[in-house]
Amino acid sequence: MFKKILIANRGEIACRVISTAKKMGIATVAVYSEADKDALHVEMADEKVYIGPAPSKESYLLIDKIIAACKQTGAEAVHPGYGFLSEKEEFARRVEEEGIRFIGPKHYSIGKMGDKIESKKLAHAAGVSTIPGYNEAIAGPDEAVEIAKKIGYPVMIKASAGGGGKGLRVAWNDKEAHEGFSSCVSEARNSFADDRVFIEKFVEKPRHIEIQILGDAHGNYVYLNERECSIQRRHQKVIEEAPSPFIDPATRKAMGEQAVALARAVNYESAGTVEFVVGADKRFYFLEMNTRLQVEHPVTEFITGLDIVEQMIRVAAGEKLAFSQKDVKIDGWAIECRINAEDPFRGFLPSTGRITKFFTPEASDYVRVDTGVYDGGEISMYYDSMIAKLITHGPTRDVALGRMRDALNSFVIRGISSNIPFQAALMKHPRFQAGDFDTGFIAREYPSGFDASMVPHDDPALLISVAAFVHRCYQDRAAKVSGQLAGHERKVGHEWVVIRNGERHPVVAKPILGGYEVGYRGQVFRILSGWRLGQSLFNGTCNGEPFTVQVERDRLTYQIHHWGTRADMMVMSARAAELLAMMPEKAPPDLSRFLLSPMPGLLREIAVAEGTEVKQGEKLVVIEAMKMENILRAEHDCKVKKISAKVGDSLAVDEVILEFE
C-alpha cells in the first residue's frame, strides 16, 4: 500500500479523498492555487505545495506542476478527484511514465472512453445500445446546422471532452444550433483545451440513469447498481439518488451487464461510471463513460456499504477486488443534494464572496456532508459553484426524503446565496416525491424560473409564532438591562402585531417555563426552545412536535427560513403598526437605462459598440463566472449610449456595463 499520495484537486473532493487516505493510514499532499491558500483541503493535508495563480489553466490544469509536486514531496500516487485533469489521457500517461501511480484507470482506457465520439463507436462495437447521431468532429456552426437538420430537432450539441454540463446545449431550431455550437466550442476550449463538438438526437422526456462499475488489474469487474440523476438544471445534476425509483431488477441487471462489458472491452481498472439515457419504455442507450470518480458517489456508498475512494486506492496499488457481484447489496435508499453557491431567486446566478456563517447538519449514520468550505472562507469566481454535498439515507425512499428535508432546514449558509431554498422546494414537490420525473422536470415545473411564491409554507402560523417568540426574547432581554431610570423601566406587554407581506397578524405572546405561549387566530402554540439571542438555528417543539427553523435579525426585520421558505417579518405594538402603515414608500431608482452585471464575474465579450442600435433579444455581453458563460441580451429595442466596462474586467454585482439612450 502507498505511504503517501497527492490529491491533484481542490474543494470538497480533495477533502473527501484526504479523509479516506487518513483512515487507511496514508499521508497526503495538497496542491493549491493563490485563491486556495487558506482552503480547507490545504489545512487537512499533511503537506501542501503551491502551484500557481487562481485561474485553473495557470495552476490545477498544469501537468508539469503536479508531477513536480509529486517528486518534491515523494508522493507515490496521484488521485485526480473529478474535473480538472481527472479525465486527461495525457496526464495519466505522464504520471505513469514518471513512475507514479495514477489512482484511476490506465491512460489508454481514458483515451478510449474519455473521448465521447470514440467511446460511442467502441460502445456500439461492444454491443451496448447507442443513440443515433453524428459522431465525428464538426468543422463549424453552419455544418452543425446542416447535420442537426438531417438528424431532426431537437438535437444535443456536446463537447467531445466535456463533462459536468460544460460545453453542452440542446437546440430546437437552426438559430439555437448555430449559437449553441459556438458556445459549446468556446466553453470546451476554455474548460478542457479541446474544442471538438459532436451532435446526437435528443431523446425527449428521458431519464438520466448511470451505473457505477469497479474493475481491477486482475480481470475482475462488478457493477454497484444504478444512480438516478434525472433532476438537472441546464444539464447539471441537482439531485441524485440510489437506487432509481424507475428501474426494475431486470433492467438494472441488463444495464449493469452492459456497463461491465464496456469496461471489460477497454481493460478498465478503477472506479468508473457508464451513463445511460432511459426512455419511458425502459429502453436504455449509452450516453458516455466517466473515467473518474463521480460527484454523486456517496449515494452508492450508502446503499452498498463500500468506500469507493478506498477501492480506487486499493486497485491502483495492485490489489484484487475483495468481493464479487453477488456480494453487492442494495441497503435502503440514499439521496444527495448538491449545495451550490448560486441565487435561486435571481435566475440561479453565481454567488461569490465571504461566507459569514456556515453550519452543516449534524453528521450521523444517516446524514453525511461532504464539503471543502468553512465558516469565514471565501467562494471564488474562478471555480465551480458547488460548495457542499448533503446526503441522507433511510430504509425507504420516503424516510430518506424526510431526513433530507430536516437536514436542509439545519444547513446554515450566510454571506453568499445558496440553492438550499430550491432544493427544499424540490423535496416537497408532489411529482418528485412520487418519483414521476425526467431530465426536463425542472424546466417544465419552473418554466419562468424560481421565486419565493413557489415555496408556499403549509404552516404559516408556526412561522408567525416563532417570530413572536424571538421578538419577546429580545424585548425581555432589553427589559433586564441594568441602569434604567427608576420609574421609567421598560415594561414588556403580551400583545403584539406580526407584519408579513404588508398583512398584520395580531398575536399574544406570554412567557411559560422553557419558552413562550403564542395565541394566534384562536389557537394556542406552546413553543419550547433553548434558543439564545443571535443563534441562527432555532430548535424546539411546537405543541410537542419538534421542528427546526433558521432565524436572522436584520434591524427591525426577523428572517425565518423553513422548508425553503424565507419569511421576512416585523413585530411591533399595535400603535406602531398603525403608524408604519402611514409611512410613505420610497420609490426605487430607475435603472432601466443601464445594463447592470447580475453576478460577479469576468467580462469576456462586449458584442456592441457605442451608438449601436440593438433589437430585443440581441446579444449584448458575455460574462464568465464559475466556469460557465452567461449571455446578457437586450430586453427591448434600444441604442447604446455609453460602454462603462471593458473586456477582461472583474465585475461586481450590479456594476454598470452599458448605458442606453
Q: Are the C-beta atoms of residues 79 and 312 closer than 8 Å to each other? A: yes
Same domain, 470 and 569: yes
Tens digit of each residue's pLDDT (9 = 90 or more) over 117-129: 788 889 999 999 9
Same domain, 19 and 51: yes
What per-residue confidence (pLDDT) applies to 164? Answer: 65
Ranges of residues in the chain whose predicted pLDDT is under 70: 135, 163-164
Q: Which of 175, 201, 227 is the last residue of a domain?
A: 201
Q: Which of 308, 331, 354 is the last residue of a domain?
A: 331
Q: Which long-range contacts (CB under 8 A, 24 or more apart) does 366-370 make?
A: 366/392, 366/393, 366/394, 366/400, 366/403, 367/391, 367/392, 367/393, 367/403, 367/407, 368/298, 368/302, 368/392, 368/393, 369/411, 370/12, 370/13, 370/15, 370/16, 370/298
What per-residue confidence (pLDDT) applies to 278? Answer: 94
Inside any domain, residue 445: no
CATH number at residue 628: 2.40.50.100
Residue 599 DSSP symbol: S
Same domain, 474 and 537: yes
Q: State how far the Cα of 2 lies from the Cα of 101, in Å rounded to an integer.
A: 9
Helix boundaries (H) for 272-330: 297-304, 308-316
What per-residue confidence (pLDDT) applies to 163? Answer: 67
Same domain, 73 and 147: no
Q: Are the C-beta atoms of residues 7 and 29 closer than 8 Å to each other? A: yes
Out of 12, 89, 226, 288, pick the active-site residue: 288
- Pairing outcome for strands 77-79 and 4-7: parallel
Amino acid occupying residue 593 = R
* This prediction's pTM: 0.85
CATH number at residue 355: 3.30.470.20
Same domain, 390 and 533: no
DSSP collapsed to 3 states, 38-62: CCHHHHHCCEEEEEECCCHHHCCCC
Print the domain residue range for 19. Answer: 4-103
Give the residue from 192, 328, 233, 75 showing the smallest Cα distance to 627.
Answer: 192
Give the residue from 219, 217, 222, 371 showing the smallest Cα distance to 308.
Answer: 222
Same domain, 640 and 561: no
Q: State how far the Cα of 247 lies from the Cα of 228, in Å rounded to an integer.
A: 9
What per-residue confidence (pLDDT) applies to 524? Answer: 97
288 a catalytic residue: yes
Tens digit of each residue's pLDDT (9 = 90 or more) over 591-632: 889 999 988 889 999 999 999 999 999 999 999 887 778 899
Angle 398-390-190 (CA atoms, 0-180°, nearest 5)? 130
Amino acid occupying residue 606 = I
